[in-house]
Amino acid sequence: MYVYDMKKRSMQEPTFLILTALAAGPQHGYGIITDAERISGGVTRLQTGTLYMALDRLRSARLVEPDREEVADGRLRRYYRLTDQGATLLAAETDRRRASAAVAAQRLRTRLAGGTA
C-alpha cells in the first residue's frame, strides 16, 4: 500500500488542522470541519472532499485511525482518533511552527528597534 513519508516535507495546513482537531479526542467528519474552522480563526473551512482525501492519506500513513461508529439521524458517523505516531508528528510540527514564529517575532522586534518600520 501507498506509504506517505510526512517527515520529509512540511505539513500542509489542512493536515495540521485535522491532526490538531483530533488531538484532544476523537471526532467525526463534520466535527473536524467545524473544529478546524474554529482553530484557524475562521480562515480555513475544509471542503468535504479535501477532508476525506486527507483522512484517506493520514489513515494509510497510520497517523489517524477510525475510533468508533454511530448512527445519528439515520446517518453513519465515523469517529477518528489520533494515533501515537500522529501525536508525535503533530508535536514535532508544533515545535517547528513555534520556532518559526519565534524567529519571525524576533526579526520584527529587530526591525522596530532599528527604526525602519
Partner 1 sequence: VSAAGTGQATGQAGDMPARDPAGAAVLERRYRRLLRCYPPSHREFHREEMLGVLLAAARPGQRTPGLRETVNLAACGLAIRVRRIPGWLAADAGQDALAVVSLITPAVVLILLALGREAMDATAAARDPFWGWPPFPPSAGHFVVVMTAWLAVVLLGLAGARRTAAAIASISLTIAWLAVLTVISLLLGQSAFPPGGLIQFPAAGFNVVLASLAACSLALSPGPRRGLAVVGWRRACLMIAGLSAGFGFPAIVQLVHPAAPVGDLAFRLLGVLAIALAVAVTRVRGPVGWRVAGLVAAGLLPSLAVLQGVGRAALQRSNFLGTYFVWTFSGWTLLVILLVAVLVWPVAIVSRLGRVSRASRAR
Residues that bind partner 1 (CB under 8 A): 1-3, 12-14, 28-31, 33-34, 37, 42-53, 55-57, 72-73, 75-78
Least CB distance from residue 9 to partner 1, whole Å? 15
Q: Is the separation of the CB atoms in 69 and 77 below 8 Å?
A: yes
Least CB distance from residue 79 to partner 1, whole Å? 10
Rounded Cα gap, residues 117 and 100, in angstroms: 21
Q: Which is nearer to partner 1, 45 or 111 (CB)?
A: 45
CA nearest to 78, candidates 60, 66, 86: 66
CA torsion 46-81-59-88 (nearest 10°) is 100
DSSP type of residue 81: E
Q: Is the separation of the CB atoms in 47 and 67 below 8 Å?
A: no
Least CB distance from residue 36 to partner 1, whole Å? 10
Q: Which is nearer to partner 1, 52 or 105 (CB)?
A: 52
Least CB distance from residue 20 to partner 1, whole Å? 15
Q: Which is nearer to partner 1, 71 or 117 (CB)?
A: 71
Q: Which is nearer to partner 1, 76 or 117 (CB)?
A: 76
